[in-house]
Structures are given as C-alpha cells and as structure tokens.
C-alpha cells in the first residue's frame, strides 16, 4: 500500500528496523528524552500538514504563549513585535470586559433586591387600617423592609398643624425652617455616607446611625414641612450619588397615604 501524503512520517524522522520504539525501555533516560523530543517534532509536523488547524480550533489561542521577536532564531533584534503587543492588549481587554460584566450582573441583582424591598414597604403602607397604623408601620416595619436600623418621620412645629399629633416614638418634631435649610428650594433627598447620628432626626436611636438618607415630604400646602429619615449603622450604606428613585417612590407613597387618611388636598406646586 502507498502511504497517504498527508499522513507521512514527521519531518526528520526515519523508522529503522530494530530502532527505538515508543514504550521500549533501554535502562536509561536517553530513550525518554528522545521520545519527548520526538513528540514535539510530531506536533510540529502535524501543524505543518494542517495549516488551517488554528482556524478550526481558535480557542487554542487562549492558552498558547506566542514567542517574542527576540526569541525567534535565538538572536536579539530591534524590530518591534506588534503581534505580541496586540495579543497582550486583546487579553487585557478581554479580562476588563469580564470584570465589567461581573460588576454589571452584581449591580443588577442588588437593584432587583432593593426594588423588591421598596415594593414590600409600599404594600405594607397601603395595608394600614388607620392613620395611626400607617405611622406605626412606617416607623417600625419599614426598617426591616428597607434594610436600615432607624426610621422616623420629622415634622416642623406649626401653630395650627394640619397633621394631628401622634403619640408614637418614631414621630419627631423639629424646629421651623429645618427642612428648608437641609434641602433648599428644589432638592428632594440628602444622602450622607459618614455621619454621627443627629438626635433631631433619629431621637434615641441616633447613637446607632453612621449613614443616613433624608427625604423631603410634601403632604399638602396646608401641612407643615416634614421629612422621612432613614438611618443605618453601617457607614456608606447611603452615599451621595446613589440612585434615589426608589426612596422617592416610597416617600411619595407615604405622602399619598397621609393625604388620604387626613383628607388633605394635594399640593398645587410640584
């Protein structure tokens, strides 16, 4: 039979009768070294016979280490190896993309969890059976739903308050002008990553607070300025620059519920 040209013996290899064959022990390491060298020759010969191998299996490039230009032929050269630079750049970009993908997935999962907590908190407020029950839910249960340690409602002093006094520990009275001083004219939220708990906003629970979120409440034009205060014992639980859409949604739900229970008009100014 005639041997197929594609399956010819590797270059430089001659099979001789009685010569060394794989698996033959000659009592020394010489045979092992020859077999190892021969294996490398076989790989090289196979690649020569199949120049399209890397096109069929491009994933092999993921683990191969291409030689630098100065390693070719064992002689130094001043030629810049652009191929090596491109390979290293592509590998770096791939690793960066993997890292970004991981961060995006983690952020997405965190956002979904936060959204679920806020939805649960709003449903709890909607289930309130009275105005007092609503306030109790906000100042006790919301801490669990929103994963914080202290939740209070702070209302400025007013000669004729539209909101009745509620004898619950989570409702605090603050000095007139406090809300305007904190938020200015248009701001709705204030997030602080590192604070010492302020007793004006957190009462007896101020000692726990190391990070807080303050959200302005505008129940009605006839009601005094107020705010919802969320305090966490972990620094940077809240931070400037975080998204506040979910917190504002929870605060808006609270405003609607208070207006509904006290039959107050909706504020005319947005």
* Per-residue DSSP letter, 203: G
pLDDT in tens, 192-249: 999 999 999 999 999 999 999 999 999 998 889 999 999 999 999 999 988 899 999 9
pLDDT in tens, 112-169: 888 999 999 999 999 999 999 999 999 999 999 999 999 999 999 876 665 666 666 7
> What's the CA gap between 162 and 179, in Å, rounded?
17
Q: What is the dihedral of CA 252, 258, 260, 264, to 10 degrees?
A: -100
* Better pLDDT: 253 or 108: 253
Note the pLDDT of residue 270.
53
Cα separations in angstroms, 24 against 11, 12, 40, 144, 198: 22, 20, 18, 74, 84
Note the pLDDT of residue 249.
95
**CB-CB contact of 174 with 155 (8 Å):** yes
Asked which of 6-20, 65-79, 176-190, 240-254 is least confident by mean pLDDT, the reply is 6-20
pLDDT in tens, 21-60: 444 444 455 555 555 556 888 888 888 898 888 788 877 8
Pairing mode of beta strands 171-174, 211-217:
unpaired
Nearest CA-CA partner of 46 in 24, 13, 17: 13
Question: In what helix (H) or strand (E) does residue 53 lie, and over which residues does it extend?
Answer: helix 53-56
- Name the E strands within 14-167: 150-156
Domain ranges of the chain: 103-262
Nearest CA-CA partner of 11 in 35, 53, 41: 41
Q: What is the dihedral of CA 73, 76, 77, 78, to 10 degrees?
A: 160
Partnered with residue 215 across adjacent β-strands are 189, 228
Note the pLDDT of residue 238.
93
Across the beta sheet with 171-174, the strand order is: 171-174, 150-156, 226-232, 211-217, 189-192
Superfamily of domain 103-262: GAF domain (3.30.450.40)
Note the pLDDT of residue 8.
45
> What's the CA gap between 259 and 270, in Å, rounded?
15
> What's the CA gap between 26 and 22, in Å, rounded?
11
Note the pLDDT of residue 14.
43
pTM exceeds 0.85? no
């Amino acid at each position: 039979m005639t041997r197929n040209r594609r399956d010819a013996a590797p270059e430089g290899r001659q099979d001789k009768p009685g010569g060394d064959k794989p698996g033959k022990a000659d009592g020394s390491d010489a045979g092992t070294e020859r077999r190892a060298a021969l294996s490398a020759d076989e790989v090289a010969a196979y690649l020569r016979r199949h120049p399209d191998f890397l096109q069929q299996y491009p994933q092999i490039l993921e683990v191969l280490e291409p030689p630098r230009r100065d390693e070719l032929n064992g002689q130094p050269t001043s030629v810049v190896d652009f191929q090596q630079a491109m390979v290293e750049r592509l590998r770096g970009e791939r690793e960066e993309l993997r890292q970004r993908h991981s961060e995006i997935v983690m952020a997405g999962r965190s956002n979904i969890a936060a959204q679920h907590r806020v939805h649960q908190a709003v449903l709890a407020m909607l289930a309130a059976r009275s105005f007092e029950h609503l306030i109790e839910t906000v100042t006790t249960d919301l801490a669990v739903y929103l994963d914080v340690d202290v939740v209070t409602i702070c209302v400025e002093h007013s000669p004729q308050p539209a909101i009745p006094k509620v004898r619950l520990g989570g409702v605090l009275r603050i000095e007139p002008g406090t809300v305007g001083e904190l938020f200015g004219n248009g701001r709705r939220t204030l997030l602080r990553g590192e604070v010492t708990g302020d007793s004006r906003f957190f009462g007896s629970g101020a000692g726990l607070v190391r990070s807080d979120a303050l959200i302005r409440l505008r129940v009605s034009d006839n009601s005094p300025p107020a705010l919802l205060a969320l305090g966490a014992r972990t620094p940077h639980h809240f931070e400037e620059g975080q998204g506040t859409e979910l917190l504002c949604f929870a605060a808006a739900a609270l405003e609607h519920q208070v207006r509904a229970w006290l039959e107050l008009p909706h504020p005319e100014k947005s």
